[in-house]
Structure 1
Amino acid sequence: MTDGWDGDVQGAGDPLRELAERVGLIDSYHDAFGALMTTPDHALRAGLSALGVPLNRDEGAIAEALNRIEEDSWGAPLPPCLVHVLTGDPISLPIVWPETEGRGEWTIFPEAETGGVEEKGVFDLEALTVIEEGEGGRRRRLLDIPLAPKPGYHQLQISAPGRDPVMIPLIVAPSTCWLPEGWEAKDGPRIWGMSAQVHGLRSETDWGIGDFGALAALARTVGRQGGGTLGINPLHALFRARPNHASPYSPNSRLFLNPLYIAISDVPEYPDAQGVGALEQDLGALREPDYVDLEGVASHKWSALEALFQVFLVKHLGRRTARGLAFSAFVKEGGEPLRRFALFEALSEVHGKEGAWSWRSWPEAFHDARSAACTAFSQENADRLTFYRWCQFEADRQLSLVASACARSGQTLGLYRDLALGADPTGADSWILGDLMAEGISVGAPPDPLNAKGQNWGFPPFHPARLRAQAYQPFVDLIRANMRHAGAVRIDHVLGLMRLFCVPNGMEGYEGFYLSMPMEDLIAILALESHRQRCLVIGEDLGTVPNGFRDRMAETGILSYRLFFFERGEGGALTPPESYPRLAMVAASTHDLPTLCGYWDGRDLAWKNRLQLWPNDASRDAEGWARHGDRPRIAEALAGQGTPLTPMEGFEPPPELVPAVTQWLARTPSILALTQLEDVLEMREQANLPGTVDEHPNWRLRVPLTVESLESDERLTRIAQIQAHFGRGPEGERA
């Protein structure tokens, strides 16, 4: 993902651009070619409209909008919420409060689970420092509260004589994300792990797609080999009505799990289910191909889940069995978000049969989850909502078993989950969150050498001001959901915590702008939740990173994400292992890039040629020559570290390529080194080819052998031995 914001703001003195700046739109940046890009007026107007500031053609509209924003900034006595980081400084609260006689009083009501007690204090309003003055004698003052409450979600109340008390959420967070004790030290532990695409796993009992049973088996293998973590693609819920929409980075919901990952034979109701046996007779045709048959798998697995649910209805629903009680507890914990997701799934089932797979194409009465029509539908279709809740219940149960398998196998961190940047605008998250999303603009990327027009990824960003007005609860829910059962979580495009490149709907990428996000508040919440869940945070910071951003990541304990292919110095020279940062996760490649063997033989270039993905012939030729020159550069660097590659005919990958690159990364001081399962097995196809949807078999590739046979595969054993030799894993101390 390319990113070129440099903080420039153009058009000083221009009322439109002043208005854009007031609401967080950054109207200029340098693109990947070094050219200064300035967002055109019509795109800024579209962006302002998406943020709730529509402008008509009246000459006074901009001035009126600026005045309204100014008035709103003075209209509330307190901000909508306050996020305080524990750095030793007092809690600083800006207040706008009319002068009154007597003293004001503050009270902190601590979150019950922190075990804190209510704290009170008084203050003299007129003695507070004035930090801003407005028209009509209005003043914004700063109230310092010299307390350090325990981290958590509290309530802060301010009151003064003759006025009603005002209460706001107070979020108190540690200054850094969680790391196991001693891991931040230069000589601290270093571990290795494996990454895999869940859909691509094979097992002796799968239904044509990888599942949680196969993932648990892989976890046991990785742990027994000395690996400390198992990284996976996002587990986000996809679309039952659109089985071919397979990208986990454009999901239905980022809050819930994909039921197609449920291992059918591991469901407790499996022995008693009617009709499942008949479905299993057809599994051979689903299991054998190199690519997942998305429609066939969906048809079989959803039918099986329906049959299994019928057993659950009879044996456990509403009964005081262990499973029945566990389900009731899960539903209670899931609360309203789970109910609304189940409602969305049930509505999609009805309207999807009519071809309306987007909620925007449903009858208008169902566009709002709180509508009377939705309430009536919920009551009339209670069993269908229960079914979709049960699917989440069973998926969560099986994911917890994967986490247990990681722990029992001796893994240090355990499961390493992945959080996508956004969700499909036709899906449940968009429907549930409503105006918390900035409708009318989509997240994307500015122009770069491979995408001359820029990119539009199709999903709206959070509306920053409305998110803050909700005390960031949707973001809290999102982080909690994706840290569940995990020892680490990767934040896709972590630069989005700072700002997002956005493109107005119907426009090209080069007409976009940056939208500022409340970075420090979001990082504080990440830190708080990571400590609560004891979950390490990794930020995917690839591309052009603004100055100082990686320093801020390091200060807050967020691991950087460094790839062998991308870590280069002058003239394209590979960054030597000792120069990698300590607070980082390192790997050779990722799902959007070629595998090691695929890079060497140019498989990705062949696909781009076949599909004519190059913007022009010059780009194609330049990339081809760059790859031609990179092979000897890589070979020379690896040989310099004592791992020479055997010369091969043409572009055939040398047999030592994967072990040699593994050794290169194992030598780094970085906390975590990951090896892709596809690289262990010397595969040449990649999981996803950016710039394609249906042209390339994205998110369908399966590995060539079962997880049961992987543990005895000499290639994995060799990788584990290399990692241990260079100080990673339980035997690392011997090296």
Structure 2
Amino acid sequence: MTQQLLQQLVEMRGIETHFVDAWGNPATIAQESQEKLLNVLGYNTTNETEIQRQISEDIQSVWLSPLNPVQVIRSGELLVVPVRLPIELVNDTHVLVITEESGEVSEFKVIPTDGELSASAHIDDVEFHEYQLTINAELPLGYHTMELRADSDVLASVRLIVAPKACYTPEPVAEGKKVWGLSVQLYCIRSESNWGIGDFSDLRKLVGYAASVGADFIGLNPIHALYPANPNACSPYGPSSRRWLNYLYIDPSVIEGFEHDDVQAILNREDFQQQLAHVRQVEHVDYEGVTRLKLALLRAVFDVYNNKYLKKNTKQNKAFKAFVAEGGTSLDMLAVYDALQSHLQKEGKECWGWPVFPDEYKDYHNPAVEKFKKANLTDVKFYLFMQWIAAEQLEAANQAAQDAGMTIGLYRDLAVGVSEGSAEIWGNKDLYCTDASVGAPPDILGPLGQNWGLPPMDPHKLYQQGYQPIIDLFAANMASSGSLRIDHVMALLRLWWVVKGDDAKDGGYLYYPVDDLLGILALESHRNKSLVIGEDLGTVPDEIRVKLADNGVYSYRVFFFEQAEDGGFFSPSHYPIQSMSTLTTHDMPTLIGFWHCLDLELGKELGLYPTEEILQTLYADRHKNKQAILDTLHGHNSVSGDVGHDVNVTGMTQPLNYGMQVHMAGGSSALLSLQLEDWLQMDKPVNIPGTFNEYPNWRRKLTQNIESIFDNGDIQSLAGQLTQARNNASK
């Protein structure tokens, strides 16, 4: 009986028991893993009585709610509303009141029994019925409210979301235009003027350079807010908040107040200039050095700007206050968190994240936090100011892309989660399960499985919160851009949860309300005119790929993974039109690294392969793959006769490198993304999955300044060939 009850609870909470792994083999989630997942969701599984009680509580909570907390429908669909009431009320006349986002109100008199009876239950000896009521309402796209009333009493209310059938696609792309663009890790950019890390001014320049040679977009790493007081926590995929921006990308020199004598005095100090020269010259981003310099200068600029504008009734202050008001609790939470973490750091206290904060500060909603905020208003205002400036500078880069006539412009990247010590969790702990982490089961990229250290959202709590956190994430990350790439887009369907202390391979899948989430994604996509790309690599069930395509989400196709059963590589002309193709990603080696097996050498040094046999198998597979690549390139006349036919004597050369890129450009994917590192023929990767301190992830810079890259005749020729190939593919 206990086992049956556990399985009932497992099914109720959407825990998967079986799945197909990355190699196409059936796999089973261990019973122990299923129970552990229930535990981190808050369930006590120690005895049958407790399990039965919790199941009853969950069932009761549904039946005692006359309406669901949120309902998502698509444009043109009938509005069918489930209503649950005690049997003595089901024959009474009720009123459904729909208040549209615009404020327009409609009322519908309903008798529950006029609908279709769909279920019934007994709660404390009271019989409840659920009816499906069909409401004849033509509602516009948007976020509306629906209330169930009896006389003047509001029995329940539901958030009603009306979404388009599919995500937005720009008209030129919808009409068949094939475009290409460059993907870049913004922090990697070198320039003549930045402070040892790429910034939004560099991005604005890059947009101009790239557009001038035919590019239609610039793809970015996640530019989410990280940790000013913990700069070495630098992974863009482990942020503090996904709604806000990384202040390190601010260019201080273009903020009004930078030329003030007080600011210039700091800038021109000998020690400051020495440190600035150092962070510019080093091979890897020195996050501690860059943070120290930028915080000092930005605080000085803020002091000037604050005194001149933000303490007076100026248009600048009105704009700043409007930004803060629109940011609401989320922005306040981040600013308070950053100020508090900095304060604790100065006191010499452990402060990597809220789990080690003093008890009174471990939750944003604690009275002590409000007291701290009131005592440190100027510090909090400084962090609000930085978010305002960052948003303005990002928008300037976006405007430059539009002015340059780019079809898409900037495309942003939404990380799958936030790190454990983040401000995002600090302010909404009820939503996140901090005793688990998001990851992946064993696959080609991670033979041991992956644990990303990112606590997942509880899908039930997300539903109870009317999906507002996910709405905010989509909207914030579509701002100032023409496209959004969603990292690990399978998260809309299911996520691999790893319980704290367990190996990644011992995790399990939890399902999410994919149809609702895709509806919200489509709505925000149209509101923000943002094309959506879903990173659908790894262990991907066929059902999600079909569902994503039907919802207008562009697939993500990596050349090295597009292989037939015989080992040959599919021609890019066979890729789905509704996709973005690429040769490599930030989690993969560069073209030179791949060809010369530098990633396998590094993996061996770092202990990423459990056995020598696995490593040798990878070497053998790589050898076969490289020969297959040469075969397909020559078979399609994508490279000249100067490139060898035999892998045993053919190294990576510029003609082979560029030939692979032009080969991709002739493909059928609507979008083609190329890595700037491969234009520069770099050999070192930016990230090695499964490593932390073993390799300088997220730090490796480009080898050239962006000002000089586009002066290179070979690169100009490559860009011209890419544009021509894309134009030919459009015909």
| TM range, smaller chain | over 0.9
Give, in whole Å, the separation in 1 of the partners of 2:207 and 2:341: 34
Q: Residue in 2 aligned with 1:686?
A: 685
Q: Residue in 2 aligned with 1:569?
A: 564
Q: Residue in 2 aligned with 1:6?
A: none
Moved more, 395-404 or 242-251: 242-251
TM-superposed CA distance for 1:718, in Å, is 2.1
3-state DSSP of counterpart to 2:69: coil
Q: Give aligned pairs, total.
A: 715
The answer on whether the counterparts of 1:439 and 1:460 sit within 8 Å (CA) in structure 2 is yes
Please tell me whether residue 276 in structure 1 is matched to residue 271 in structure 2: no
Please tell me whether residue 437 in structure 1 is matched to residue 428 in structure 2: no
Please tell me whether residue 288 in structure 1 is matched to residue 281 in structure 2: yes
Consecutive unaligned residues in structure 1, runs of 5 or more: 1-10
TM-superposed CA distance for 1:713, in Å, is 1.7
Consecutive unaligned residues in structure 2, runs of 5 or more: none
Query: Residue deviations 1:489-539, cap 9 Å, x none?
Result: 100000000010111111222321111101111111100101000011000
Q: Residue in 1 aligned with 2:36?
A: 46
Please tell me whether residue 237 in structure 1 is matched to residue 225 in structure 2: yes
Please tell me whether residue 559 in structure 1 is matched to residue 554 in structure 2: yes
The answer on whether the counterparts of 2:168 and 2:531 sit within 8 Å (CA) in structure 1 is yes
| Residue type of the alignment partner of 1:511 | D
Q: Residue in 1 aligned with 2:94?
A: 104
Moved more, 274-283 or 681-690: 274-283
The answer on whether the counterparts of 2:5 and 2:51 sit within 8 Å (CA) in structure 1 is yes
Give, in whole Å, the separation in 2 of the partners of 1:241 and 1:27: 42
Please tell me whether residue 128 in structure 1 is matched to residue 128 in structure 2: no
TM-superposed CA distance for 1:577, in Å, is 2.0
Please tell me whether residue 721 in structure 1 is matched to residue 720 in structure 2: yes
- Return closer, same or farther for 1:289/1:31 CA change in 2, 3 Å cut-off: same
- 1:241-320 map, 5 Å: 241-272=229-260, 273=263, 274-278=265-269, 279-320=272-313
Please tell me whether residue 82 in structure 1 is matched to residue 77 in structure 2: no
Give, in whole Å, the separation in 1 of the partners of 2:281 and 2:313: 42
TM-score between both structures, scaled by the size of structure 2: 0.94
Please tell me whether residue 696 in structure 1 is matched to residue 695 in structure 2: yes
Q: Residue in 1 aligned with 2:576?
A: 581
Please tell me whether residue 595 in structure 1 is matched to residue 594 in structure 2: no
Give, in whole Å, the separation in 1 of the partners of 2:613 and 2:726: 45
TM-superposed CA distance for 1:137, in Å, is 3.6
TM-superposed CA distance for 1:230, in Å, is 0.5
TM-superposed CA distance for 1:13, in Å, is 6.7
Q: Residue in 2 aligned with 1:210?
A: 198
Give, in whole Å, the separation in 1 of the partners of 2:343 and 2:31: 42
Q: Residue in 1 aligned with 2:148?
A: 158
Query: Residue deviations 1:2-26, cap 9 Å, x none?
Result: xxxxxxxxx9972212211111111
TM-superposed CA distance for 1:223, in Å, is 1.1
Q: 1:489 aligns with which of 484, 490, 493?
A: 484
- Return closer, same or farther for 1:479/1:376 CA change in 2, 3 Å cut-off: same
Please tell me whether residue 138 in structure 1 is matched to residue 128 in structure 2: yes
TM-superposed CA distance for 1:33, in Å, is 5.6
The answer on whether the counterparts of 1:209 and 1:287 sit within 8 Å (CA) in structure 2 is yes
The answer on whether the counterparts of 1:102 and 1:161 sit within 8 Å (CA) in structure 2 is no
3-state DSSP of counterpart to 2:119: strand
Query: Residue deviations 1:64-108, cap 9 Å, x none?
Result: 22222222221111101111111x321111110234354222121
- Return closer, same or farther for 1:24/1:532 CA change in 2, 3 Å cut-off: same
- 1:399-438 map, 5 Å: 399-438=394-433
| Residue type of the alignment partner of 1:306 | R
- Return closer, same or farther for 1:564/1:443 CA change in 2, 3 Å cut-off: same
Q: Residue in 2 aligned with 1:657?
A: 656
Q: Residue in 2 aligned with 1:65?
A: 54
Give, in whole Å, the separation in 1 of the partners of 2:602 and 2:401: 36
The answer on whether the counterparts of 1:81 and 1:469 sit within 8 Å (CA) in structure 2 is yes
TM-superposed CA distance for 1:190, in Å, is 1.1
Give, in whole Å, the separation in 1 of the partners of 2:692 and 2:722: 36
Q: 2:318 aligns with which of 302, 316, 325?
A: 325
Q: 2:336 aligns with which of 338, 343, 352?
A: 343
TM-superposed CA distance for 1:607, in Å, is 1.1
Give, in whole Å, the separation in 2 of the partners of 1:206 and 1:93: 56
3-state DSSP of counterpart to 2:48: coil
Q: Residue in 1 aligned with 2:643?
A: 646
TM-superposed CA distance for 1:140, in Å, is 0.9
The answer on whether the counterparts of 1:659 and 1:718 sit within 8 Å (CA) in structure 2 is no
Moved more, 130-139 or 629-638: 130-139
- Return closer, same or farther for 1:595/1:585 CA change in 2, 3 Å cut-off: same
Give, in whole Å, the separation in 1 of the partners of 2:302 and 2:559: 46
TM-superposed CA distance for 1:456, in Å, is 1.6
Give, in whole Å, the separation in 2 of the partners of 1:244 and 1:232: 20
Query: Residue deviations 1:453-500, cap 9 Å, x none?
Result: 432211111111111111111111111111110100100000000010
The answer on whether the counterparts of 2:229 and 2:338 sit within 8 Å (CA) in structure 1 is no
| Residue type of the alignment partner of 1:303 | A
Identity %: 35
Give, in whole Å, the separation in 2 of the partners of 1:238 and 1:651: 43
The answer on whether the counterparts of 2:573 and 2:667 sit within 8 Å (CA) in structure 1 is yes
3-state DSSP of counterpart to 1:434: coil
Give, in whole Å, the separation in 1 of the partners of 2:590 and 2:202: 22
Give, in whole Å, the separation in 2 of the partners of 1:429 and 1:69: 27
Give the RMSD, CA atoms, in angstroms: 2.0
Structure 1 outlier segments of 4+, above 6 Å: none
The answer on whether the counterparts of 1:596 and 1:657 sit within 8 Å (CA) in structure 2 is no
Please tell me whether residue 455 in structure 1 is matched to residue 450 in structure 2: yes
The answer on whether the counterparts of 2:44 and 2:51 sit within 8 Å (CA) in structure 1 is no
- Return closer, same or farther for 1:455/1:379 CA change in 2, 3 Å cut-off: same
Give, in whole Å, the separation in 2 of the partners of 1:631 and 1:31: 25
TM-score between both structures, scaled by the size of structure 1: 0.94
3-state DSSP of counterpart to 1:538: strand
3-state DSSP of counterpart to 1:572: coil
- Return closer, same or farther for 1:511/1:732 CA change in 2, 3 Å cut-off: closer
Give, in whole Å, the separation in 2 of the partners of 1:651 and 1:603: 16
Query: Residue deviations 1:520-565, cap 9 Å, x none?
Result: 1111110010100001100000123112221111111000000111
The answer on whether the counterparts of 2:66 and 2:155 sit within 8 Å (CA) in structure 1 is no
3-state DSSP of counterpart to 1:471: coil
